């Protein structure tokens, strides 16, 4: 096509924690979903990684905003600026005199209301999208994992993101049963902050709690491959003197126990409502885990023991939704589950 540079196709996983953009089957952007504003002028001064470096370290003249909360847009203006900034960043690699026609597929939580769906569509259109298609995240995750979503058989996906955990049973290109709960990565992070205050008398910020989650995050006290304990430094709550605490994966498994139990309850609830023929398929094929939360050590084992169905962590779970959106982008005419 002579004018192919005038058409641009992007698959976007607009996440509470990270935004991933695919183009031509490749990741062209993977940055934290965060924006920094100048309080005096109201101008956006940074987004993505640069803004994340400022997060929790700002002065009164600057504020950082995470535009998405619980998987949906909480701050419309900031979300639009962030999407626009990210698209600009992707485009800066291709210098063109013309603004390309932008076709986008964007992932949204399966429990989104009409208003929340419209907010994502409007933000994407205001940021330059001509053709905007929306796809429910569990459907995108299933495509990204490589499941045949159009087959007449039951597939089950649990996508644990930053803001929501999406649980869905898929058959014949549709969601048969789904539940979207707001217990996910952000809740785990605040659980860790609370635990550090209660047990170690240390005040830690969001970024440190996130680091603890990545380095020693686990959901079972007994693991085959145990991570090294992590040293955490911070101010003592009483005296404000600097203190150190050594945090082990057993402690984190204990501290995340209640939140993981909520996810287990939701999985059992969805299975309970699943038609028996599809249930039989799920028992045979297993249940797939995707999203950043799938990286918690011991999660597949704990869920398998609880539910008595085999759980598998998908390959590169962080990018499953993005890969699926990318797959949907290639076949927008074929997939009936895409929303215009």
Q: Which domain holds residue 289?
A: 152-183+257-314
Does residue 167 share a domain with residue 306? yes
Number of domains in the chain: 3
Q: Are residues 240 and 199 in the same domain?
A: yes
Query: What three-state secondary structure class fits 34?
Result: coil
Tell me how far apart the alpha carbons of residues 80 and 139 are, in angstroms, rounded to a whole number. Answer: 24
Enter the tokens of residue 199: 């047990």
Beta carbons within 10 angstroms of residue 203's beta carbon: 15
Q: What pLDDT is recorded for position 308?
A: 95
pLDDT at residue 243 in the model: 94
Average pLDDT over residues 270-299: 95
277 falls within a domain? yes
What's the rounded Cα separation, in Å, for the pair 215 and 174? 37
At 242-251, the pLDDT tens digits run: 999 999 999 9
205 vs 91, residue with greater confidence: 205
Q: What is the mean pLDDT of the chain?
A: 91
- Domain contains 121: yes
Looking at residue 102, what is its pLDDT? 86
pTM of the complete model:
0.92
Q: What is the C-alpha separation between 87 and 178, in angstroms, rounded?
A: 31
More confidently predicted of 153 and 72: 153
42 and 179 assigned to the same domain: no
Structure confidence by residue, pLDDT tens digits, 46-76? 999 999 999 988 899 999 999 998 888 888 8
* Separation in Å, CA 279 to CA 151, 154, 156, 300: 15, 7, 9, 19
Q: Quick one: 159 and 269 in the same domain?
A: yes
Are residues 61 and 127 located together in one domain of the fold? yes
Nearest-angstrom CA–CA distance, 271 and 21: 32
167 and 112 in a common domain: no
2 pLDDT above the threshold of 80:
no
CATH classification of the domain holding 120: 3.30.420.40
Instruction: Please indicate, yes or no, if residue 338 is contained in any of the structural domains.
Output: no
Q: Is 340 part of a structural domain of the chain?
A: no
Answer whether 46's CB lies under 8 Å from 215's CB. no
pLDDT beyond 60 at 1: no
Identify whether 25 is part of a domain.
yes
Percent of the residues in the chain that have a pLDDT greater than 90, as a whole number: 71
Question: Percent of the chain, pLDDT > 70?
Answer: 96
In a domain, 147, yes or no: no
Return all residues near 179 (Cβ < 8 A) that are at least 6 apart: 111, 166, 167, 168, 266, 269, 270
Residue range 88-123, pLDDT digits in tens: 888 876 655 556 788 899 998 888 889 888 988 988
- Assign 165 to helix, strand or coil: strand
163 shares a domain with 117: no
Answer yes or no: is 336 within a domain: no
CATH, residue 234? 3.90.640.10
233 and 297 together in one domain: no
Residues 15 and 109 in one domain: yes
In this structure, are 236 and 265 located in the same domain? no
pLDDT value for 236: 94
136 and 16 part of one domain: yes
- Sorting pLDDT into bands at 50, 70 and 90, what band is 140? very high
Are residues 310 and 221 part of one domain? no
Residue 339 lies in a domain: no
């Amino acid at each position: 096509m002579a004018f192919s540079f005038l058409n641009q196709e992007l698959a976007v996983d607009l996440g509470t924690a990270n935004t991933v953009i695919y183009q031509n089957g490749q990741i062209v952007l993977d940055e934290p979903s965060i924006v920094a504003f100048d309080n005096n002028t109201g101008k956006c001064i940074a987004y993505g990684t640069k803004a994340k470096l400022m997060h929790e370290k700002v002065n009164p003249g600057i504020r950082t905003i995470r535009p998405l909360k619980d998987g949906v847009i909480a701050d419309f203006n900031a979300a639009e600026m962030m999407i626009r900034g990210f698209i600009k960043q992707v485009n800066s690699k291709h210098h063109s005199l013309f603004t390309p026609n932008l076709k986008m597929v964007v992932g949204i939580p399966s429990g989104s209301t009409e208003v929340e769906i419209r907010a994502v569509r409007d933000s994407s259109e205001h940021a330059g999208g001509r053709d905007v298609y929306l796809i429910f995240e569990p459907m995108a995750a299933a495509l990204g994992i490589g499941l045949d979503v159009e087959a007449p058989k039951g597939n089950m996906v649990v996508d644990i993101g930053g803001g929501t955990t999406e649980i869905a049973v898929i058959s014949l290109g549709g969601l048969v049963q789904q539940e979207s709960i707001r217990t996910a990565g952000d809740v785990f992070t605040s659980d860790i902050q609370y635990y550090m205050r209660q047990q170690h008398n240390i005040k830690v910020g969001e970024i440190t709690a996130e680091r603890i989650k990545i380095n020693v995050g686990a959901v079972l006290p007994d693991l085959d491959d145990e991570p090294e304990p992590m040293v955490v430094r911070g101010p003592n709550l009483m005296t404000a003197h600097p203190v150190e605490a050594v945090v082990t994966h057993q402690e984190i498994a204990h501290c995340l126990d209640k939140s993981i139990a909520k996810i287990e309850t939701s999985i059992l609830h969805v299975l309970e409502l699943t038609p028996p023929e599809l249930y039989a398929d799920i028992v045979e094929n297993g249940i797939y885990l995707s999203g950043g939360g799938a990286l918690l050590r011991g999660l597949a084992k704990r869920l398998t023991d609880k539910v008595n169905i085999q759980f598998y962590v998908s390959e590169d779970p962080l990018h499953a939704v993005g890969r699926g959106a990318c797959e949907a982008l290639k076949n927008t005419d074929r997939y009936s589950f895409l929303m215009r």
